[in-house]
């Protein structure tokens, strides 16, 4: 912990005592979950460094940006079109939190029966333990689920929040509404930054974000190979870091990692034996440092080969389609791309089971684990239709409902081991 960092955190009004406790807890968990893995790609060294300095260097970059008049825009959902933020010269940063540490802080205000992701994120603000929240000039929320929607109203009492209306259906009327929301968001960001979003700037931002999506697609494509050249834990970490690292640097680091994985594939080198059970996880997102399920699965000898989630395929599968440099057409292409995210907030949302079936085949998954955070009603309910669909397809599925605490780890381990035993070749 450098003096510089402490000064920066003090300037950001961080509660230093709680913050110390948070960082001190993270180190041993990272050691146990990540650094104990054997045969990791050397390219993961970058991600280890990022986690080792999680509240240091990147926050410093955001502060430098702010010193020159730049803005930082925080988000909680992959529906917020980050292209518009970059195009206005601001920096987007994903804020979702995946730690139990801040959950009790949030429970002083929010109902206990709220999902851990919402509580953890809100607790970060209430407890003043997250420098990314503190460094943001605007938080952008969305109307995806009721828990988040109502949390944003309370969060707005602490920090400026702007909420985008995400429709709940996929009809033409909903698409029109969403298109209007994207246009309105452009105006909000222009007002915040004082910068006009030009077609040229927007084209550059579209290329920037598409570039990162392509790099993540490349990483995930490499996970389709048997034996798989990278663990699910490492792939998850690389994806999680993409939510807050600089997009250009992130793309470069992802591609460097993929170059190394290409060589592993060519040499037939895997992180697990070729016959290790291959698992696809589908459901709620896993924000950093939520590595709980992956750790249990991979400690039991299986390997996670894909995540159908917003910290997985939903984050990068679709690109913004190329258009002429014309603002209206670019905004339509952006709105169309984001409406194609099959979040459980939509009704109906039959495209999601379709995706899972397709992904299970592409990634040669032996089984699917349907993961929902406790009190997340949208994903919990979709688990029913997902089970029906996968049964028809002959794909074994295990339903997992959990939170961020370790209380149920033993019980989960037992259920997961039994499932793996059943699907073993
Ligand atoms: S597009 S999945 S990132 S909303 S887990 S907070 S749904 S109660 S996170 Fe999400 Fe956007 Fe959808 Fe993706 Fe609510 Fe459920 Fe909690 Fe959730």
pLDDT of residue 424: 86
Ligand 1 and 78: CB distance under 6 A: yes
**How large is the average pLDDT for residues 79-98?**
96
Pairing of strands 303-308, 161-164: unpaired
Instruction: Supply the residue whose CA is at minimum distance from atom 4 of ligand 1.
Output: 144
Residue 425 has pLDDT above 80, yes or no: no
Task: Report the distance separating Cα 121 and Cα 119, nearest Å.
Answer: 5
Q: What is the pTM of this model?
A: 0.98
For residue 371, the CA-to-ligand 1 centroid distance in Å is 12
Ligand 1 and 79: CB distance under 6 A: yes
Instruction: Supply the residue whose CA is at minimum distance from atom 10 of ligand 1.
Output: 77
Q: Residue with structure tokens 């079936």? A: 357
Ligand 1 and 290: CB distance under 6 A: no
Ligand 1 and 345: CB distance under 6 A: yes
Ligand 1 and 94: CB distance under 6 A: no
Residue 373 has pLDDT above 80, yes or no: yes
Ligand 1 and 117: CB distance under 6 A: yes
**How large is the average pLDDT for residues 238-250?**
98
For residue 284, the CA-to-ligand 1 centroid distance in Å is 6
Residue 228 has pLDDT above 90, yes or no: yes
Task: Report the distance separating Cα 312 and Cα 216, nearest Å.
Answer: 9
List pLDDT tens digits, range 258-268.
999 999 999 99
**Which secondary-structure segment (H or E) carries 354?**
helix 351-362
More confident residue, 96 or 368: 368
List pLDDT tens digits, range 121-166.
999 999 999 999 999 999 999 999 999 999 999 999 999 999 999 9
Give the 3-state secondary structure of residue 282. strand
* Rounded percentage of the chain residues whose pLDDT exceeds 90: 99
Q: In the structure, what pLDDT confidence band is assigned to residue 251 with cuts at 50, 70 and 90?
A: very high
Pick the atom of ligand 1 nearest to 145's CA: 14
Ligand 1 and 92: CB distance under 6 A: no
Q: Which of 288, 285, 235, 239 minimizes the C-alpha distance to 99?
A: 288
Q: Residue with structure tokens 């020159």? A: 68
For residue 349, the CA-to-ligand 1 centroid distance in Å is 14
pLDDT of residue 96: 82
List pLDDT tens digits, range 299-322.
999 999 999 999 999 999 999 999
**How large is the average pLDDT for residues 73-77?**
98
Pick the atom of ligand 1 nearest to 116's CA: 16
List pLDDT tens digits, range 376-411.
999 999 999 999 999 999 999 999 999 999 999 999
Q: Which two tokens stand for residue 197?
A: 């979003």
Ligand 1 and 119: CB distance under 6 A: no
Task: Please say whether the dihedral angle defined by the alpha carbons of residues 421, 229, 289 and 205, taken in this order, is positive or negative.
Answer: negative
Task: Report the distance separating Cα 259 and Cα 261, nearest Å.
Answer: 5
Instruction: Supply the residue whose CA is at minimum distance from atom 3 of ligand 1.
Output: 77
Average pLDDT of the chain is 97
Other residues' Cβ atoms within 10 Å of the Cβ of residue 340: 11
């Amino acid at each position: 912990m450098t003096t510089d960092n402490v000064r920066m955190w003090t300037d950001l009004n961080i509660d230093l005592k709680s913050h110390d406790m948070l960082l001190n807890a993270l180190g041993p968990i990272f050691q146990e979950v990540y650094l104990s893995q054997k045969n990791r790609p050397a390219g993961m060294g970058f991600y280890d460094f990022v986690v080792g300095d999680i509240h240091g260097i990147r926050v410093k970059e955001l502060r430098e940006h702010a010193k020159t008049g730049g803005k930082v825009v925080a988000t909680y959902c992959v529906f917020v079109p980050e292209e518009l933020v970059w195009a206005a010269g601001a920096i987007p940063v994903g804020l979702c939190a995946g730690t139990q540490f801040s959950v009790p802080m949030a429970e002083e205000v929010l109902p206990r029966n709220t999902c851990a992701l919402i509580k953890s994120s809100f607790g970060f603000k209430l407890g003043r333990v997250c420098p990314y929240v503190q460094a943001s000039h605007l938080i952008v929320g969305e109307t995806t689920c009721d828990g988040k929607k109502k949390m944003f109203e309370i969060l707005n009492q602490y920090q400026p929040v702007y909420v985008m209306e995400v429709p709940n259906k996929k009809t033409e009327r909903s698409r029109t509404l969403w298109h209007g929301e994207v246009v309105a968001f452009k105006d909000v960001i222009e007002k915040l930054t004082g910068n006009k979003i030009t077609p040229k700037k927007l084209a550059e931002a579209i290329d920037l974000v598409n570039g990162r999506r392509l790099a993540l697609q490349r990483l995930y494509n490499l996970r389709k190979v048997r034996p798989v050249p990278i663990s699910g834990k490492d792939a998850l970490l690389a994806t999680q870091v993409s939510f807050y690292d600089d997009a250009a640097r992130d793309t470069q680091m992802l591609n460097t990692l993929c170059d190394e994985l290409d060589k592993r594939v060519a040499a037939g080198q895997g992180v697990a034996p070729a016959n290790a059970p291959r698992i696809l996880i589908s459901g709620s997102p896993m924000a950093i440092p939520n590595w709980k399920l992956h750790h249990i699965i991979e400690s039991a000898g299986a390997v996670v080969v894909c995540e159908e989630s917003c910290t997985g395929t939903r984050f990068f599968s679709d690109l913004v389609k190329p258009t002429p440099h014309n603002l209206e057409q670019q905004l339509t292409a952006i709105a169309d791309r984001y409406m194609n995210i099959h979040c459980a907030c939509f009704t109906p949302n039959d495209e999601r089971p379709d995706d899972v079936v397709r992904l299970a085949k592409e990634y040669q998954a032996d089984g699917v684990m349907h993961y929902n955070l406790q009190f997340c009603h949208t994903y919990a309910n979709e688990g029913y239709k997902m089970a029906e669909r996968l049964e028809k397809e002959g794909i074994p599925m295990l339903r997992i409902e959990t939170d961020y605490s370790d209380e149920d780890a033993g019980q989960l381990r037992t259920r997961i081991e039994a499932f793996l035993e059943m699907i073993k070749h």
